[in-house]
Amino acid sequence: MLTTCSSAIVLTVNGEDHMLVVEPNELLINVLRNELGLTGAKYGCGTGQCGACTVLVDGEPVLSCITLAVAVDGKEITTIEGVAGADGELQPVQEEFLHENAIQCGFCTPGMILVAGDLLKRNPHPSEAEIRHHIKGNICRCTGYNGIVRAIQKAAARQGELRSDGIADREEAVSR
Amino acid sequence: MTDMRYMRPRSLKEALEMLGEHSPGAKLLAGGTDLIPLFRAARYSSESSLAGLGSAGGCKCGDCRIVPFPDVLVDVGGLDEIKGIRRSDGFLEVGAATVIADIASDPLLNEEVPILAAGAGSIGNPLIRNRATIGGNLASAAPCADTAPPLLALDAIVQLASPEGRRQIPIADYFLEYRTTSIRETEMITGLLIPIPSERSAGSFEKVRLRRSGAISVASVAVMLELDAATCLKARIALGSVAPIPLRAAAVERALEGRRIEGEVARACSRLVQQHISPIDDIRGSADYRRWVTEAVVARNILKSAGIEGTD
């Protein structure tokens, strides 16, 4: 039911536009999970401390459990469901998470993969320290992090190979 | 369901009009990293069985007052007018809605006022820093606000605006008492002016914490010294998490000024910090420990600022 306080918003989620009517205090995570059925982002601490609810808003990692849905009206949201190709083909970082046993219970994994992707976009050749620094907002209680760090290192190396094969990013090559 | 109204102004002028029209009852939202958990803590305490779980019925940090949902939430986080970092006439100007991650990584701030970049970089975790703003850090006015000690040590000026006009106040006059500031009801922070420290100045920031990320400070210390060789011409010592507000230790500053900085001088002057602080016991540390560690960390950072020892 529409109340005077409800707002109509448009979210572009994983490339698809959704018109939604939300309460002004509704959290982005609840809209994604309950309205759109995208249960990849997890509800962990609910206070912005654990990172399980991470999604990308206009390409930047954001904690959806402390973000109001109305506040991201008109923005592009990427959830873990939007990371793989349309044909289901996994990104290198996703494959390396599988190969390196970087996933155990899986609760932190969607956030970890989005944050790892954000790191590799900003910094294609991160050091181990830079990787560990970048994932500090995402807590994993199973793996001890070593598998996650290895997975991100291997994904970085694979992306480097793709680039040296001449497939990627001329602009970046020029800027270096 | 809520009666709260959410408003997103397109300009600072519009934001101030909304604030004027709906105050009291209007609250400003920027990154929301502090406010949203506080609002939710309030909801838990009134509506659900989670009441009583944390201290004061909600938030577990122990520092927070419970804030009820406001009637009107004015979202100023997207206002470009109050974002960004600029140099102008001997000052650095930092917009209130500049996110903490940008402050921590900004080349100009890292060059001219590294203690502010360091304080910002010590906040929360990378995801929090992507959304939290410097204006929000000051407006929430927690004793542990990590940008406050650096800004106090840098003699920053808080820029405020209201429908009636603008004014500026020294940050030393900004924090009044626990979570209370000199911001008036229809005012908002628009930015900070930071005098660019002279060539002879050097500073240091240290946050004592229980882990390296996502940690609220046990105690934090910012030091700025103006030096002529090893002689201290001017000193600023600012502290967080050891009193109801972030504050300066004027007695330590006065004792340092005119002295040649060396180990024993730094330690003797740092003892005077005790008269300024009134720390509490909480889950992060006891009052006794805070008293001890504050004095030690002040001494260490005086020496570090003077380039004498303990460089990192």
What 3-state class would DSSP assign to B294?
helix
Query: Do A115 and A50 belong together in one domain?
Result: no
Last residue of a domain, one of B16, B43, B75: B75
- The rounded mean pLDDT for chain B is 90
Amino acid at residue number A103: I
Domain span at A28 = 7-82
Inter-chain contacts counted by CB atoms under 8 A, chains A and B? 87
- How far, CA to CA in Å, does A128 sit from each of A94, A156, B118, B121? 18, 11, 21, 19
pLDDT (mean) for B228-247: 97
Query: Do A104 and A171 belong together in one domain?
Result: yes
Share of chain B above pLDDT 90, in %: 82
CA distance B120 to B106: 11
Query: Do A73 and A103 belong together in one domain?
Result: no
Cβ <8 Å between B37 and A48:
yes
pLDDT (mean) for B195-210: 97
The confidence score (pLDDT) of residue B154 equals: 98
Closest B-chain CA to A25? B2
Domain span at B54 = 5-75
For chain B, how many structural domains are there in total? 3
Using one digit for the tens of pLDDT, what is the confidence trace for A29-50? 999 999 999 999 999 999 999 9
Query: Do B232 and B257 belong together in one domain?
Result: yes
The confidence score (pLDDT) of residue B54 equals: 31
B273-289 exposure pattern, b = at least 16 Cβ within 10 A, e = fewer = beebbebbebebbeeee
Q: Does B75 contact chain A (CB < 8 Å)?
A: yes
Query: Do B146 and B183 belong together in one domain?
Result: yes
Distance (Å) from the alpha carbon of A54 to chain B's nearest alpha carbon:
8
Cβ(B216)–Cβ(B232) below 8 Å: no
Output B30 or A168, whichever has higher pLDDT.
Answer: B30
Q: Show the DSSP H helices in B141-178 as ranges.
A: 148-153
CA distance B251 to B253: 5
Which of residues 260 through 299 in chain B touch A, CB cutoff 8 A?
Answer: none
Q: Which residues of chain A are at the B interface, by a Cβ-Cβ cutoff of 8 Å? A: 3, 5, 7, 23-25, 27, 46-49, 51, 54, 60-63, 66-68, 70-71, 73, 115, 133-134, 136-139
- The rounded mean pLDDT for chain A is 90
Going by C-beta distance under 8 Å and a sequence separation of 6 or more, which residues neighbour residue A175? none
Take residue B124 and report the two structure tokens written for it.
């929360």
- Residue B202's DSSP bridge partners are B225
Nearest to A137 among B1, B6, B214 (CB): B214
Q: Does B32 contact chain A (CB < 8 Å)?
A: yes
Token pair 């998470």 is at which residue?
A97
For chain A, how many structural domains are there in total? 2
Question: Is A2 part of a structural domain of the chain?
Answer: no
Nearest to A23 among B2, B124, B125 (CB): B2
Nearest to A25 among B2, B128, B131 (CB): B2
Q: Does B29 contact chain A (CB < 8 Å)?
A: yes
Token pair 């956030």 is at which residue?
A111
Give the count of beta carbons closer than 10 Å to the beta carbon of residue A146.
11
**What's the CATH number where A29 sits?**
3.10.20.30
A11-25 exposure pattern, b = at least 16 Cβ within 10 A, e = fewer = bebbeeeeebebbbb
Give the count of beta carbons closer than 10 Å to the beta carbon of residue B187.
22
Token pair 């009009």 is at which residue?
B17
- Confidence band, pLDDT 50/70/90 cuts, at residue A5: confident
Last residue of a domain, one of B135, B163, B195: B195
Question: Is A48 part of a structural domain of the chain?
Answer: yes
Cβ <8 Å between B73 and A24:
yes
Question: Is B311 part of a structural domain of the chain?
Answer: no
Distance (Å) from the alpha carbon of A136 to chain B's nearest alpha carbon:
6
Last residue of a domain, one of B75, B100, B116: B75
